[in-house]
C-alpha cells in the first residue's frame, strides 16, 4: 500500500511541475525548445522542493 507521505509527495510534485511549466512559458521566448529546456532546468528544483516540503517539514496538501 502506498504511504500517505508518498501520495503527498506525488501531489506536491505535480503542483510544482505545473507551476514550473507556467513560469517557463511566461519568462522564456515563444520557442518550444527553449521552454522545454527551461522546464527541464527547473525540474531538479521541483524535485528537491517537493521532497523537502513533504519529508522535511511534513506539509500536507489535504
Query: Is 9 within the bounds of a domain?
Result: yes
Separation between Cα atoms, residue 58 and residue 28, nearest integer Å = 33
Query: Is 32 within the bounds of a domain?
Result: yes
Query: Is 31 within the bounds of a domain?
Result: yes
Separation between Cα atoms, residue 32 and residue 5, nearest integer Å = 34
Query: Is 45 within the bounds of a domain?
Result: yes
Domain containing residue 34: 4-56
Number of domains in the chain: 1
Place of cell 508518498: 6
Q: What is the pLDDT of residues 30-62, one digit of tens each?
A: 888 998 899 899 999 999 999 999 999 988 887
Query: Is 12 within the bounds of a domain?
Result: yes
How much is the pTM?
A: 0.82
pLDDT band at 2 (very low <50, low <70, confident <90, very high): confident
Query: Is 62 within the bounds of a domain?
Result: no
Separation between Cα atoms, residue 59 and residue 52, nearest integer Å = 9
Separation between Cα atoms, residue 14 and residue 4, nearest integer Å = 16
Amino acid at each position: 500500500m502506498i504511504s500517505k507521505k508518498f501520495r503527498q509527495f506525488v501531489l506536491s510534485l505535480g503542483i510544482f511541475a505545473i507551476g514550473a511549466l507556467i513560469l517557463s512559458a511566461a519568462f522564456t521566448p515563444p520557442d518550444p525548445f527553449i521552454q522545454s529546456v527551461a522546464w527541464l532546468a527547473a525540474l531538479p528544483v521541483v524535485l528537491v522542493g517537493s521532497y523537502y516540503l513533504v519529508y522535511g517539514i511534513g506539509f500536507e496538501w489535504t
